[in-house]
Chains A and B, each alone.
Chain A
Amino acid sequence: GENVEQHPSTLSVQEGDSAVIKCTYSDSASNYFPWYKQELGKRPQLIIDIRSNVGEKKDQRIAVTLNKTAKHFSLHITETQPEDSAVYFCAASRGTLTFGKGTMLLVSP
């Protein structure tokens, strides 16, 4: 089955800095890669996703890149703000989702 590795497990940045979270996957048949944000005590919510026929996708301060050959995908957050503080999960799918273990992002004012 699919295996998703996510790094780092924790990430602390200063407000205004960029943050990058990286994931690798094992199943070359996976074709959908969503990222979820989970604030403390809240449910996970989709923030951006990318499909395997696309290499990069942007939405305001958030971007995701995908390297199918290397089976890597990354989340990039620019101009971080304190409200970006949360746990971020990557996932890979060709049907059901397999999640990484999450990255706790802390943005300090």
Chain B
Amino acid sequence: GAGVSQSPSNKVTEKGKDVELRCDPISGHTALYWYRQSLGQGLEFLIYFQGNSAPDKSGLPSDRFSAERTGGSVSTLTIQRTQQEDSAVYLCASSFSGLAGNEQFFGPGTRLTVL
């Protein structure tokens, strides 16, 4: 079966514009995660969705960042009024469940460049 997919693969935008990043998790995976990876840095947790539960938004760096997951499948990460420091690779991952010990499968990422 298909793995986690993300679109677009690359996005270049101007400072102040809004962007939407999309993630298609593996079919049947109830847990979905968004991470941000800046150059030479680790993976910074942003937000976590588990089934129909309220998402864990504890990693979102500011109120310019939001995410939703429709129908328990596809997720969209939205960054409003983008800033240059938002430039990074945004990775999505999914797992069969949100319990510790379930392997997270990563998508290829979206490279965001804010000019």
Contacts and interface: CB of A to CB of B under 8 A. Distances in A.
A36 B42 CA distance: 11
A64 B44 CA distance: 23
Nearest to B50: A95
A96 B42 contact: no
Contacts, number: 56
A68 interface: no
Grouping DSSP codes into helix (H, G, I), strand (E, B) and loop, the B interface class, with mixed when no group exceeds half, is: loop
A89 interface: yes
Given A44-B43, A44-B91, A97 B108 contact: no
A101 B107 contact: no
Nearest to A6: B42
Size category, A interface: 20 to 34
Size category, B interface: 20 to 34
A43 B42 contact: no
Nearest to B109: A43
B45 A97 contact: yes
Contacts of A36: 106
Interface stretch (A13-21, A45-53, A77-85): A45-53
Contacts of B65: none
Given A43-B106, A43-B108, A45-B106, A95 B98 contact: yes
Interface of B: 33, 35, 40-45, 48, 56, 58, 91, 98-101, 103-104, 106-109
Given A44-B106, A96-B48, A96-B56, 9 more contacts: A34-B104, A43-B107, A46-B103, A89-B43, A96-B33, A97-B43, A98-B45, A99-B35, A99-B42
6 contacts: A36-B106, A46-B103, A46-B104, A97-B104, A100-B42, A101-B41
